[in-house]
Every structure is written in C-alpha cells, then in structure tokens.
Chains A and B, each alone.
Chain A
C-alpha cells in the first residue's frame, strides 16, 4: 500500500469516525435497536458477543454474523458503511493474525505455495477465527452505533460498573474524537504546505512523525477536556435528562436475546 493511499485512508477513516462518534446520528434513527432500553440492549448484545466468542462451530458463528446483518438493516444502518468501516477492517486485521495458522496447523495439505503447505485444519482454524471476530465486532458495533454514548455509560453504571471505569470510558470517547479532529487538522495543514510529491520513504517518515506528535497533542487535549468536565461538576457519575424505563417491547427483546443466546450456546458447543 503506498503511503499516499495510507494517508488518504487514515484521513477518510478519521473523518468518518469523528462524524459517527460526535453526531451520534445513527443512534437517533428510528430503528429496531434504537427503540430498545439501553440496559436491555447492552446485556443482550454483550451476551451475544460472548456467545460468538465461545462458539466452536462455524454455522453458529455464521448465523450470529447473519443476525448482526439483519439487525443492522432493521436499525437503518448503512450496510455499505458497515462493510467499509467494520467488516473490511476487522477482516484485514484478523486475516493478518490468522495467516500463519494456514501453514503451521498440522493436518492434511490441500494447497501448496512454494515449499509451504496449507492444511485443511489450518484453513478451518483461520476461517473460524475470522468469522468469530466478524460476528463479535458486528454485534458490538451495533450496540455502539445504535446507542447514544452517554446512555451506554449510564447503562453500564446501572450494571454496577465502577465510577472510575465510567469516567475512563467518557474520557476515552472524547479522546478518540479529539484524535480524529487533530489528525484531520494536521493532514490538512501538511497538505497546504506541500509542493510536489514526496517519495515513499519520505511519506512514511512523515506519517510516523505525525503519529508521534498526534499522540502527545491529543493526550494534552484529552486532559483539558477532562478538566472542563470536572469544572462543570462531573464526578464520574453519568446523569441524563431521560430516565430509563422498561416497556413491553423491552421484555419481548429480553426474551428474544435469552432464547438466541441459549440456542447459540447449545448449538455452538
């Protein structure tokens, strides 16, 4: 991948991430998951993620992934955006990790690349890992995209997650947003001062330097944000204008989640 492409990818990704995280547009859509009480959604989705992580059978993992896709459609999320920002990224990272397993797992050779043999067992392990990660990442992403961040934090708090962890998560969220904003500003500022094209080596050197500066800048800004939150009385406890209230639909969803998790857990053993 050329550094120019890398720079464009990082910029595009950071812009999209910034927009998604800051505006929480998808969390305010009138979709299936958005209509659920955040506590029900949190517990249900986490249980499904755990089931996906523990499942050993490929059809069960594929079914959980397919369920994630259906839920995304029912929650009015763009499948194209999910594919670009979630599935492809998860696939790329997991494939990198799973790649050696193709050759290192002992078993029956099904294909040869040079002197290395891809084994059937290796291919199955790699496929299992990729599917498991895709299913788990899809379900977690659905939870984050369909729930306003502060609602999610409050839901975690009602599940007795300590105040310190909540404060840390609140900070992390703003930190990521700042990171993307700062990254955009730095890329644009660099672009405005560049004449001609840099060669690959120079591009990579610039990217590494930018990464370092970006990290220290956002750390500083993140700290400022936390001070600003403290200055207005934030003590780690999440407070909202709306109180959570379970409705009929939430009880149906609870039963649905329970049935799915039990079925997947039994079938996935």
Chain B
C-alpha cells in the first residue's frame, strides 16, 4: 500500500451489515430566513450509489454541502461514520484533513472549482493540501489526467477549456485523492450528449464497488446508470426512497416533485399526452 493510500474502509460490520456512511437526522437548514431543508432524515450505507432527485430548489445541493461539512445544520444532525459534522469538528485540523481525505465533492459549476492557473496545478491542489510527497503527487496527478484523457491539457488555463473538459478536470481534481465517498452536484447538467456519457463512463470506471457515490440530479435519463437507490426530495424533505425503477414508474410522484412535466405531441394528426419525453412510452398504431 502506498504511503498515502487510505486504509481499507470497512463497508460491512462484524454481523455482515453495511456500515452507515452518513446519517442525517431531522436536519433543518435555513439560508437567511428561507428554509432549504426541513426535518430531512436520510441514512446512506457504505458502498451505496444514491441519486438525490429533485427539482431546482428542492434542497439537493444544500444536502450535499452539509454532507461535505461546508455548511452546518441549523437544527438536527449530520453524521459521517458516527461523527457529527459540526463547525467545531471541522475547525479541528486533524479531523478536517481526515474527513477531506475521505469525502470529495464535485460542484455543479466547474468554474468555481477551477481556480488554479493550469490544469496540472488544479489537479495537484488537493494532494498538495494533504501534504503528500512530491513524487507521489506527480504520479497521481499524471494518472488522474490520463484517466480523464486530459494529459495534453495539463498546461492549459482551466478557464479556456470547453464545458465538458472543465467538468472532467473538476472530477479529476477530486478523484485524484481517491476518496471513499464522492458527492456530485449535477455532474452532467449543461453538457452535450457525448460529454455527458464520457462523465458517466468515468464515474463508472472509478467505482470499484466499495465507493459511496451520491449524485444530485434532476436528469431522469441517467438515473439507472448512476444509482442503485433513488431518493426524491421536495421542499427540503425526502418524499420517496426506492429503487430507480420504482421511482421512474411512479409518474404521479415524479409529476408532484416537478421532475417531469406533461408533454404533448402530434402523431399522424392525433395529439398525444405523455408524462415526460424522457420516460419510455409506446404509441398505438395510427
């Protein structure tokens, strides 16, 4: 094992049950006086691939930030492997470093995540904060750049990259630390179809079955590829927690959570109405 490799994290306990990675208990979070999360409770087990589904403003991004110890609950508790994520806990350098090493977040807007002068510096930023030896940092950064197919971009300024390249560099800048938990905020939004599938393929190739991946999204078409469990949020609370197939089958829930909208189109002069263009539907013969 390399000097800075994370020790193998247990994903099951002695009895064979999956270990709890995150536990949110009656969490409330207010932005000034507006409640973004209202009494939200959720448990995430180690190794799970979860999709947080919800319309804009449903609280997905806020929940991810609470799970990453960037914001702190106004009421209730968020725990990571049994330890409460509080402001005072994150002020402790040892705890913060250990936590940051294990949990990584990819922001929705790659521009806020890319703040270094070159792509190489960007990917090296996290390992440098961990205080790893120079040679290991160089190895890991090159490996991460190769993995996203961006070795040729290493000397480019991140702001000059295309949307898809920015997103891949943002993912590499987090995955280079090889965390156990990856939080992704709308990883495929505003990407063209090819970039979208590149990002999904990258995430699939990274996951070895032991990683916990929590993805906030409102794109139903990628649900099956990114998750084994779907949690639907509405107005800052969990309104459904089921398999992706069950959630996708529940059009009434999806419509209520503003994840789909009625879609009308014409077929042979006959008007049809479907819950969403993204959901599978068949037509009778005309």
Instruction: Mark A residues whose CB is within 8 Å of B.
Output: 18, 22-24, 148-150, 174, 177-178, 181, 221, 224-225, 227-235, 239-241
Contact = CB atoms under 8 A, between A and B. Distances in A.
Contact of A23 (B117, B125, B174): B117
Interface in B25-54: none
Nearest to B176: A232
Contacts of B173: 232
B117 A233 contact: no
Contact of A232 (B111, B117, B126): B126
A62 to B, nearest CB: 35
Interface residues of B, number: 34
Given A18-B159, A225-B115, A240-B128, 14 more contacts: A22-B117, A178-B111, A224-B109, A227-B112, A228-B113, A228-B115, A229-B115, A232-B100, A232-B104, A233-B97, A233-B126, A233-B130, A234-B129, A241-B138
A227 to B, nearest CB: 5
Task: Return the 7 tightest CB-CB contacts between A and B, nearest first.
Answer: A233-B129, A232-B126, A224-B112, A239-B128, A233-B100, A228-B113, A24-B117
B101 interface: yes
Contacts of A228: 107, 112-113, 115
Interface in B192-214: none
A181 B100 contact: no
A191 B55 CA distance: 31
Interface in B109-127: 109, 111-113, 115-117, 121, 124-126
Contact of A230 (B70, B93, B101): B70
Contacts, number: 72
Nearest to A223: B112
A7 to B, nearest CB: 22
A125 to B, nearest CB: 41
Contacts of A148: 117
B64 to A, nearest CB: 10
Given A22-B159, A227-B65, A241-B137, A235 B129 contact: yes
Contacts of B100: 231-233
